[in-house]
Structure 1
Amino acid sequence: MSADAIRWPARLDLSAARDGGNATRVHARHDGPLRLLKTLYPEGAGVAHAVLVHPPGGLVGGDRLDIHIDVQPSAHLLVTTPAATRFYRSNAGEAAQVVQASVGEGARLEWLPQETLAYPGCIARNEVRFKLAAGASLFATEVLGLGLPAAGQAFDSGRLLQHLEITDRWLDRGWLDAADTALLDGPCGLAGHRVLGTLVYAQGGALADAEALLTHSRARLGEAVRGGITHLAGPGGALLLARVVGDEVEAVTLALRRVRALWREQLWALPASDPRIWAT
């Protein structure tokens, strides 16, 4: 997207660092309508929960949001939003949200936004890229809903590029186009479902007792959704990936939250600790 084509740009830079007292402190700088609403510490000073808001409530053609996150060594940052990201019908080009995050040595990042909704007729790009240093670890979720089925608005036109990446470790990239019935309705695609959920966990080094964790994780998905969980091990470390499809955003979201709760307890020895903003 060229600079001339951007109608309403916004940028937010977040930096999280560990201070001398082992607390994680967050600093933010913004341009345009994208803000850090609040930093909360429901788990104590070591884990910062940052709540991001985009007051316009959604993106139309030509809008662009840029989010840059820098988690310094040993810091622990959780980032979430109070509401969905909405890509509205596009009448003037592409709308884009681009997230780039770096996680320093021994640091932890939890990227846990609320769902992304692709309205009928949208032309959108949703890109999230993470770069992990040695010893860093990451939780990241993405729940994508195509159309507004509860309002009787099917995803019968439009397209969205979803790009999820951990540098040198994992890449999930593809267009979801309303005209691509083989992908949206075929048995090797979404099989007629219109909600797609992804949960990924990455760390340096191997996982202990990975097979037992996979068995317990799959049981947590429940029967309201279809999905699977895989474990990938390579020279860069271990990666757990949960993929889910369903008919309702809530069902997919709750399934991934149950799995994340288990992983957080087993892998980080921390309670589930859902962000407080999710209960409002």
Structure 2
Amino acid sequence: MVWSAHLALHYRRDGGRTVAHDRHEGPLRVLQALYPEGPDVCHHVVVHPPGGIVGGDSLVTDLQAEAGTHALVTTPGAAKFYRSAGPQAVQQARLRVDDGARLEWLPLETIAYRGCQARNEVHLDLAPGAQMIGWDVLALGLPAGGEAFDHGRFTQQLHWPGVWLEQGTVDGTDTRLLDSPLGWAGQRVLATAWIASGTDWPAEQRDALLSVAREQPAAPGVTAGATSTDPRLVLLRALAPRVEPAMQLLQAVRAAWRRTAWALDAHPPRIWRT
């Protein structure tokens, strides 16, 4: 069965509280809103009950955070692109953050199984005064289970128009890309994290965000680096042999960015511990 699913999430301010309204079509929805940090920050978990994404499936999330809101969105487990007989599967997130709003987009990893035909897109739209922390983690195959990503195609796009565009296709047969030191260097997990502002970060604050990202220790076998390609954006990229050490690094960087930019403690979502 092929699924076409759409989830619309709209966060607004209601007095001293961030509240959410959602509409869904198909098997993509959110669990109950949680407030472990108090009423200012709404934590949401997006679930896809079928579990895996197969050829022909389309999963789209549209999110808007209105002025004065702070939303944290995550998932309970990995997004899994399974083998396809030909049709492409698509997962897309369109994220709009209004002036004075904060968004944390923190899904767990995406796994590209051997033989998948998949496309993953994240589109950002930040108004002046908006701020966001986000990440994207791609794992090729199941190294621990002995299943290599030796055929199949995965296309990735991270796009903030006029500011940042990263896109490319990984072909499982392209050993030059996957094994070369100029490519994936034999690793099979690629992680990208960002902290973004609709207005230029002050130079001193941008330097501080870069510094705290670079100070976080990476586990053995993980290669990571932080950079700023635009005054509105600080990036961290990492290559790792497994998902777990990559996620540990991203969670540490996210906590450091939260403290530095927003003077907030980490408050990791409870679902990450289950």
Counterpart mapping for 1:173-212 below 5 A? 173-203=167-197, 204-207=199-202, 208-212=204-208
Aligned to 1:82: 76
Tell me what 1:104 maps to. 98
When the two chains are superposed, the root-mean-square deviation of aligned CA atoms in Å is 1.3
| Percent of pairs with identical residues | 49
Rounded Cα–Cα distance in structure 1 between residues aligned with 2:58 and 2:16 = 35
| Structure 1 equivalent of residue 3 of structure 2 | 8
The CA deviation at 1:169 is: 1.2
Residue type of the partner of 1:10?
Answer: A
With structure 2 as the length reference, what TM-score do the two structures score?
0.96
Deviations 1:132-190 (A, max 9, x none): 00100011111110001111100000010111112221111110111222211111111
Contact 2:208–2:260 (CA<8 Å) still a contact in 1?
no
Q: Is residue 48 from structure 1 mapped to residue 39 from structure 2 by the alignment?
A: no
Number of equivalent positions? 271
Is 2:227 the partner of 1:227?
no
CA distance in 1 between counterparts of 2:102 and 2:34 reads 16
**Residue 273 of structure 1, CA deviation:** 1.1
Q: Which amino acid in 2 is paired with 1:150?
A: A
Unaligned runs of 5+ in 1: 1-5
Partner amino acid, structure 1, of 2:119: R
Letter in structure 2 aligned against 1:218: R
* Other structure's SS at 2:31 match: strand
Which amino acid is the alignment partner of residue 206 of structure 2?
A: A
- For residues 11-70 of structure 1, give each alpha carbon's deviation from its aligned partner in whole angstroms, at most 9, with x where no partner exists: 100000011x22100011000111111211111111001111000001010111011001
Q: Write the mapping of 1:122-271 to structure 2, written as runs, cut at 5 A.
A: 122-203=116-197, 204-207=199-202, 208-224=204-220, 225-234=222-231, 238-271=232-265
Partner of 1:31: 25
Give SS of 1:222's match.
Answer: coil
Under a length normalisation based on structure 1, what TM-score does the superposition of the two structures give?
0.94
Runs of at least 4 residues off by over 3 Å: 209-213
Deviation at 1:209, TM superposition (A): 4.3
Q: Secondary structure at the match of 2:114?
A: coil
